[in-house]
Amino acid sequence: MNLLATIPVLGAGVYLIGLGVAAVVSPGRTKRFLGGFASSAPVHFAELGVRLLVGAGLVHSAARMQFSSSFLAFGWVLIGTSVVLLAVPWRLHHRFATWSVPMATKRLPLFAFGSVVAGAFLLYALLVPGGDG
């Protein structure tokens, strides 16, 4: 069970690093990719499914991670916000994404840097054994 819980967390770290690199290498494509979030009901539910998996992985793995209480809390935040979004019509979620993605990507180099740092931090916390550190 520990390995199964670790896989989505590991995937999230790799995803964040890849997203940051992609934002530098191909900024237009990255903006289009991020703008596609919640663009349809299937994409909306797929995004929520991934968020739930990562949140559950964080909750289950947190005790073995560095900064465990922070990642436990973040996992529950991901789960809670995903459950709330399940009750929200996907078109409303899409409207929010249409409004927020341009703001988040306005300074794409900063977005890229933050994404790489967040991904590296997540991988460090996951791969270096610890408890609250």
Q: What pLDDT shows up at residue 125? A: 96
Cα-Cα-Cα-Cα dihedral sign, residues 130, 122, 86, 48: negative
Neighbouring CB atoms inside 10 A of 70's CB total 15
Instruction: Locate the domains of the chain by residue range.
Output: 2-127
pTM of the model: 0.91
What pLDDT is attached to residue 57? 97
> Does residue 133 have a pLDDT over 60?
no
For the chain, what's the residue count? Answer: 133
Higher pLDDT, 37 or 82: 82
Angle at 76 (CA atoms; ends 43, 108), nearest 5 degrees: 55
| More confident of the two residues 133 and 18 | 18
Work out the angle at residue 57's Cα, subtended by the Cα atoms of residues 13 and 21, and round it to the nearest 5 degrees. Answer: 10
Confidence of residue 132 (pLDDT cuts 50, 70, 90): low
